[in-house]
């Protein structure tokens, strides 16, 4: 943990993580500190790269993406970066992870229909860089929200 970060900084991060729309005034009130302190702390957290950006959490099912999968990919030697570049451009792919273990990469992908998933997997398996894949259907996603 960064030595420049204290419990107030962590509290600010946790509040913003829970709701990025929380105003500095609301944060100040909840933490019983001055608004200027909140402003300066958030600025510092951004400068340190701890807060990279404020974002939202989307309910993809309400947008029609009813199928969420994790796809493990075993990649032929030297093929990761090319394949990761292709996957990153695919509209169904939301996350590409370079990892260690039995597989070389993991992809989080979302689809509106089983047919879209089927086409995606078959196209992925035909890529010259891919040795094998393993697809797992996500039933639920639970998020860890606080830092300690």
Spatial CB neighbours of 62, under 8 Å, sequence gap ≥ 6: none
Residue 55 lies in a domain: no
Same domain as 91, residue 42: no
60-107 per-position pLDDT tens digit = 999 999 999 999 999 999 899 999 999 999 999 999 999 999 999 999
The CATH number for 42's domain is: 1.10.10.10
Same domain as 67, residue 89: yes
Residue 121 to residues 12, 69, 137: CA-CA distances in angstroms? 41, 11, 13
Same domain as 64, residue 24: no
Same domain as 65, residue 95: yes
* Structural domain for 92, as ranges: 60-137
Residue 115 lies in a domain: yes
pLDDT at 142 exceeding the cut of 80: no
Residue 142 lies in a domain: no
Domain count along the chain: 2
State if pTM tops 0.85: no
10-43 per-position pLDDT tens digit = 999 999 988 999 999 999 999 999 999 999 999 9
């Amino acid at each position: 943990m960064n030595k420049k970060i204290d419990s107030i900084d962590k509290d600010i991060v946790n509040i913003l993580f829970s709701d990025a729309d929380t105003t500095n005034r609301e944060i100040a009130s909840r933490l019983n500190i001055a608004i200027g302190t909140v402003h300066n702390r958030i600025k510092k957290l951004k400068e340190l790269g701890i807060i990279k950006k404020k974002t939202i959490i989307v309910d993809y099912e309400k947008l029609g993406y009813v199928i969420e999968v994790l796809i493990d990919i075993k990649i032929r030697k030297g093929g990761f970066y090319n394949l990761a570049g292709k996957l990153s451009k695919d509209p169904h792919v939301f996350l590409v992870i370079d990892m260690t273990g039995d597989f070389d990469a993991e992809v989080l992908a979302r689809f509106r229909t089983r047919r879209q998933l089927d086409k995606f997997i078959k196209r992925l398996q035909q890529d010259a860089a891919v040795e094998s894949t393993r697809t797992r259907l996500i039933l639920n996603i639970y998020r860890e929200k606080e830092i300690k």
